[in-house]
């Protein structure tokens, strides 16, 4: 067993005198007791030279408590939250990205080669605006003039209409030669847009009026009239067949010719077919 040596205490005369002076100062003073002398009063003002002594066990306890306080302050606040171990408290993808290292991004070739475009605009000058206004005014004037012409046109004709012929066709026996002969009787009739009587024809109005006399009802449209028949080759074409063009039609007159109502200011006439953009249609087959 280890032997502990008893620590010897040394006496300090000055410390003993000071202690006695303090005790004397704290003792109750009676009126009859003698007052302390000056030396005793001075001794009471001397600071105590006794120091606080701690043993080894006290030092260990102080160090343990200090370490516990420091460790508690170092723990994050969320460590104390109940249930913080659940998945909802886990690290998010955004948080992981903030902690990620350098990353690389691949861009496909089609993105790299994507064309770059920019907006563009056209400025309109004052002269162009004025020209557009003049064109609009001219178109309106032409419309009014055509309306007035149709009014006078209707008033100038009192003969049978397309409807009259369809109700009682004068030529019930249909054949191409007869159709062409009737059509030639209207050569010289002026062109009138929308016209469908001998007072004035447009292209499809002319064809419609002639075929109505044979009991054939047609729309007032070149495209619609072309859809009514069967396409045939030009080698098989005969006078009385129809020549269909984009937006225009007439009667085939033989030898590459057409009988038609051509345009405003002209009259029904026969002339060579001037374009290759056409086909031949026969009605009744």
Residue 123: the pLDDT is: 75
Q: Catalytic: 260? A: yes
Q: Which of 203, 258, 259, 261 is catalytic?
A: 203
Please state, in angstroms and as integers, the Cα–Cα distance from residue 122 to each residue in 116, 128, 173, 277, following that order.
20, 12, 62, 35
Distance from C-alpha of 239 to C-alpha of 251, rounded to nearest angstrom: 7
Q: Is the pLDDT of residue 4 over 50?
A: no
**Which contacts qualify for 203-210: CB closer than 8 Å, 24 or more apart?**
203/248, 203/249, 203/250, 203/260, 203/261, 203/262, 204/249, 205/261, 206/250, 206/260, 206/261, 206/268, 207/242, 207/249, 207/250, 207/251, 208/162, 209/162, 209/165, 210/179, 210/182, 210/183, 210/186, 210/251
Q: Is the pLDDT of residue 148 over 90?
A: no
Q: Which of 212, 248, 252, 258 is catalytic?
A: 248
Q: Which of 209, 226, 260, 268 is catalytic?
A: 260
Residue 144: the pLDDT is: 85
Q: Catalytic: 203? A: yes
Residue 151: the pLDDT is: 73
Contact of 213 with 182, CB cutoff 8 Å: yes
Distance from C-alpha of 205 to C-alpha of 207, rounded to nearest angstrom: 6
Residue 110: the pLDDT is: 61
Supply the mean pLDDT for the chain.
Answer: 78
**pLDDT (tens digit per residue) in 14-68:** 555 555 655 555 555 554 555 555 544 544 554 554 555 556 666 767 677 676 6
Q: Catalytic: 244? A: no
Q: Please give the span between the terminal C-alpha atoms of the chain, in angstroms, as a whole number.
A: 140
pTM for the model:
0.51
């Amino acid at each position: 067993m280890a032997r502990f040596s008893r620590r010897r205490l040394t006496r300090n005369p000055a410390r003993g005198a000071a202690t006695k002076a303090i005790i004397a100062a704290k003792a109750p003073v009676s009126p009859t007791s003698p007052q302390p002398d000056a030396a005793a009063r001075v001794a009471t003002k001397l600071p105590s030279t006794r120091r606080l002594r701690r043993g080894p066990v006290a030092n260990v306890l102080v160090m343990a408590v200090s370490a516990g306080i420091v460790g508690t302050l170092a723990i994050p606040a969320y460590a104390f939250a109940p249930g913080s171990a659940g998945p909802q408290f886990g690290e998010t993808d955004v948080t992981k990205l903030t902690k990620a290292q350098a990353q690389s991004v691949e861009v496909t070739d089609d993105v790299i080669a994507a064309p770059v475009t920019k907006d563009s605009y056209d400025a309109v000058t004052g002269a162009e605006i004025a020209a557009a206004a003049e064109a609009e005014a001219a178109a309106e004037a032409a419309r009014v003039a055509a309306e007035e012409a149709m009014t006078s046109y209707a008033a100038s004709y009192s003969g049978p209409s397309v409807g009259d012929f369809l109700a009682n066709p004068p030529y019930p026996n249909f054949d191409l030669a007869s159709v062409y002969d009737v059509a030639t009787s209207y050569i010289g009739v002026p062109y009138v847009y929308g016209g469908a009587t001998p007072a004035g024809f447009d292209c499809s109005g002319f064809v419609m009026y002639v075929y109505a006399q044979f009991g054939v009802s047609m729309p007032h449209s070149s495209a619609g009239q072309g859809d009514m028949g069967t396409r045939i080759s030009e080698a098989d074409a005969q006078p009385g067949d129809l020549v269909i063009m984009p937006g225009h039609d007439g009667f085939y007159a033989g030898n590459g010719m057409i009988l038609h109502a051509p345009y405003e200011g002209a009259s029904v006439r026969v002339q060579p077919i001037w374009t290759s953009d056409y086909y031949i249609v026969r009605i009744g087959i």
